[in-house]
């Protein structure tokens, strides 16, 4: 049985502000921005090239068991890029306040930069140079035997 992680609900205080931030500053695509059922507006955004999206919405938390996380409570969300210098330049050009890349070692996967959204949810961007020649979607297709 295959399982895919495709949507992560993200706790935010203002859906429109968060949508605009992720769309305009980070470059995510807005897949859905609508009332999916009476009283439940969902905004789903996907990073370019990703198979996993984030979902914003006040009523999301009413449908899931457990406590409702506070806006800004999520830390360590991670994006992966093949070229961190190019990604840094693109994000800075979009107006994102992102840290300079830090190379913790020469190993592939050991370079990161960081940013937070307007609520304080914390993101890391990891450089994994191997993704330039081995995109994740191709590897997953091969694993599935397609």
Q: Is 77 helix (H, G, I), strand (E, B) or coil?
A: strand
Query: Confidence band (pLDDT; 50, 70, 90) for 43?
Result: very high
Rounded to whole angstroms, how far apart are CA atoms 44 and 41?
10
Query: What pLDDT is stored for residue 146 in this prediction?
Result: 60
Q: What is the mean pLDDT of residues 98-113?
A: 97
121 Cβ contact partners less than 8 Å away, ≥ 6 residues apart = 10, 11, 12, 71, 72, 73, 74, 75, 77
Q: Is the pTM of this model over 0.85?
A: yes
What's the chain's average pLDDT? 92
- Predicted confidence (pLDDT) per residue in 56-101, tens digit: 987 888 888 889 899 999 999 999 999 999 999 999 999 999 999 9
Q: What is the mean pLDDT of residues 7-11?
A: 95
């Amino acid at each position: 049985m295959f399982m895919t992680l495709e949507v992560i609900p993200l706790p935010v205080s203002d859906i429109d502000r968060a949508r605009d931030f992720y769309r305009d500053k980070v470059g995510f695509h807005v897949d859905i921005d609508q009332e999916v059922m009476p009283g439940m507006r969902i905004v789903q955004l996907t990073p370019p090239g990703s198979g996993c999206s984030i979902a914003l919405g006040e009523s999301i938390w009413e449908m899931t068991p457990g406590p409702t996380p506070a806006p800004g409570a999520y830390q360590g969300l991670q994006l992966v890029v093949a070229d961190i210098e190019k990604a840094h330049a693109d994000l800075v050009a979009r107006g994102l306040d992102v840290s300079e890349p830090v190379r913790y070692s020469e190993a592939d996967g050991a370079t990161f930069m960081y940013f937070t959204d307007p609520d304080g949810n914390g993101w890391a961007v990891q450089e994994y140079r191997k993704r330039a020649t081995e995109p994740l979607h191709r590897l997953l297709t091969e694993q599935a035997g397609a």
